[in-house]
Amino acid sequence: MEDKELKMYRDMISEGSTVLGIEFGSTRIKASLITPEGIPAASGSHGWENRLDGNIWTYDLDSVWDGAASCFAGLAEDVEKTYGVTLSSAAAAGISAMMHGYLVFDEHDNPLVPFRTWRNNITGEASAELSELFQYPIPQRWSIAHLYQAILNGEEHVGRISFMTTLSGYIHWKLTGEKVIGICDASGMFPIDTETQDYDASLLNIFDRHIAYLDLPWTVRDILPEILPAGKQAGILTEAGAKLLDPSGTLKPGIPLCPPEGDAGTGMAATNSVRQRTGNVSAGTSVFAMLVLEKNLSRLHHEIDLVATPDGKPVAMAHSNNCTSDYDAWVALFAQAAEVLGSKPSIDEVYNRLLKLALEADADTGGLFHCSYVSGEHVTGFSEGRPLFVRQPGSSFTLENFMRSLLFTSLCALRTGLNILYEEGVTADEIRGHGGFFKTPEVGQRIMAAATGIPVSLLETAGEGGSWGMALLAAYMNRKDPSITLPDFLDPIFSAGMGTPAAPDPKDIEGFNAYFERYHKGLPIERAAVESLRG
């Protein structure tokens, strides 16, 4: 960085004119500090993991705040080291987190049950019944599915609920005191009416009538957070909130915050995929592809989420709970083997070397079969997962084919959902990718193009991820021209950073399609593994 640019950034930080975005992802909490024009200036991160507690995937709420403080401390350290100034304020900020799940509180703001994350596939009965009742797809991950399943289970806490929200909504509430949520994150709680930019009023009434026999002290609207679209101010960082982010007391209260959003919304912002016929795919622990719709789908599809862009446009989302977790475990095992043999490569080197082998493999992986279900998979009908690998005696069992099989299988559930959209005539001119799946150059991009059949581009800023997308939404709140739309605001930021799309290679497509057929033939093996290996 040149001295002139360094001084400019230093002055912005000292004056408090930079913008902050923090995202709570499934394995990492990341903070991004950007200029008002969207240029990354500094970052911080903190690793964390969910845990399986009594068959529930969860995070301790204490770990939310420990992680937030650690992440912000890393950001502040990066600012101090790079610019020689102290980070004490910002012009705007925003919070993002994993969508969906179930966080409920009583009238005294106490949590009623441990946080039930998106990863839980324990609401099958509620999901099916509500989808039929609403004639609208209600995936198992959605907050309303969790709530209704708790009702069906007869859980005692239901009558004491005062507030229900998502992880981003919870964090924003504690930082500002405001019980609000961005429209994209809200669209993973309860169906949205994109015309009114609010929860679907008719479906709210249907739900309340459906549970009227319980004589509960609340209606569903009573306990849902207020929806705000992108561009609105959603509160001010309080003194208590500032202490949660920065226990040292250096961070000053008073920073305006934009509506909290889910990781789907920040993914759309981080890839400039908010116009019709644009799409993006976020691939990491989970993988989901989002295509902005030109028209509504012709009928109900239980496998497809209908959500919204951060500015309230309808979006179809194909979502898979499982993507990189299984191949991450295999890469870690290979790294351990290398160390036993006397080599100590960095984990990045292990990833790069092994994943690149996939491009040298047989197109269809030589007859190998993986199922990467660490957790359940809604789109293929699994409430639990058992990662497994199968080969036939005649399979070509090479390291190249093994790695390609791991990559292919991580996208097969996603493709199962995308096929439904393709049959509906939904498509995109280009898919913009981001997430850890794309970290090794060329590999993730080429495999994703084969799996989707659509050209895939990687933005130069794709590695910045959702925290950068959240910071962009916070910057949009501070735009000088209030009439400018979100797509028009984002376009100049991305004008110089759009990567060249990688068109699908016909041989890769043919190989993936052969593997995809084998994958679905192999799912009964996975079902038998779930049934046979309990506890």
pLDDT at 496: 66
Token output for 95? 């919070």
pLDDT at 441: 85
Mean pLDDT of all residues in the chain?
94
Report the distance separating Cα 129 and Cα 148, nearest Å.
9
Report the distance separating Cα 450 and Cα 512, nearest Å.
6
pLDDT at 535: 65
- The answer to whether residue 465 scores a pLDDT higher than 80 is no
What are the C-alpha distances in Å from 462 to residues 116, 135, 435?
29, 36, 7
Alpha-helix runs per DSSP H in 153-291 = 167-176, 183-186, 201-210, 220-223, 239-245, 263-270
Assess if residue 416 is contained within a domain: yes
Average pLDDT over residues 64-82: 97
Percentage of the residues of the chain whose pLDDT score is greater than 70: 98
Assess if residue 65 is contained within a domain: no
Identity of residue 34: I
- The answer to whether residue 116 scores a pLDDT higher than 60 is yes
pLDDT digits (tens, 9 = 90+) for 328-374: 999 999 999 999 999 999 999 999 999 999 999 999 999 999 999 99
Ranking 26-40, 341-355, 358-372, 492-506 by mean pLDDT, the lowest is 492-506
- The answer to whether residue 452 scores a pLDDT higher than 90 is yes
Closest C-alpha to 17, from 88, 84, 69, 75: 88
Predicted confidence band at 399 (pLDDT cuts at 50, 70, 90)?
very high
- The answer to whether residue 405 scores a pLDDT higher than 60 is yes
The helix (run of H) or strand (run of E) holding residue 51 is strand 51-53
Assess if residue 85 is contained within a domain: no
- The answer to whether residue 531 scores a pLDDT higher than 80 is yes
Predicted confidence band at 415 (pLDDT cuts at 50, 70, 90)?
very high
- The answer to whether residue 267 scores a pLDDT higher than 80 is yes
Q: Does residue 83 contact residue 9 with C-beta atoms inside 8 Å?
A: yes
Average pLDDT over residues 503-515: 97
* pTM of structure: 0.82
- The answer to whether residue 463 scores a pLDDT higher than 60 is no
Report the distance separating Cα 253 and Cα 372, nearest Å.
44
CATH number for position 391: 3.30.420.40
Predicted confidence band at 298 (pLDDT cuts at 50, 70, 90)?
confident
Predicted confidence band at 464 (pLDDT cuts at 50, 70, 90)?
low
Pairing outcome for strands 431-434 and 226-228: unpaired
pLDDT at 245: 98
Q: Which residues contact 531 (CB under 8 A, 6 or more apart)?
A: none
Assess if residue 535 is contained within a domain: yes
Instruction: Give SS3 for 302.
Output: coil
Predicted confidence band at 4 (pLDDT cuts at 50, 70, 90)?
confident
Residue ranges making up the domain that contains 279: 273-289+318-458+505-535
Assess if residue 322 is contained within a domain: yes
Assess if residue 445 is contained within a domain: yes
- Specify the number of domains making up the chain: 1
Closest C-alpha to 36, from 472, 510, 484, 346: 472
Buried-state track 525-534, b at ≥16 Cβ within 10 A, e below 16:
ebbebbeeee
List the end-to-end C-alpha distance of the chain, in Å, as a whole number. 54
The helix (run of H) or strand (run of E) holding residue 414 is helix 412-423
Report the distance separating Cα 136 and Cα 140, nearest Å.
13
pLDDT digits (tens, 9 = 90+) for 132-149: 999 999 989 999 999 999
Assess if residue 472 is contained within a domain: no
Report the distance separating Cα 360 and Cα 507, nearest Å.
12
Q: Does residue 374 contact residue 413 with C-beta atoms inside 8 Å?
A: no
Alpha-helix runs per DSSP H in 215-317 = 220-223, 239-245, 263-270
Assess if residue 391 is contained within a domain: yes
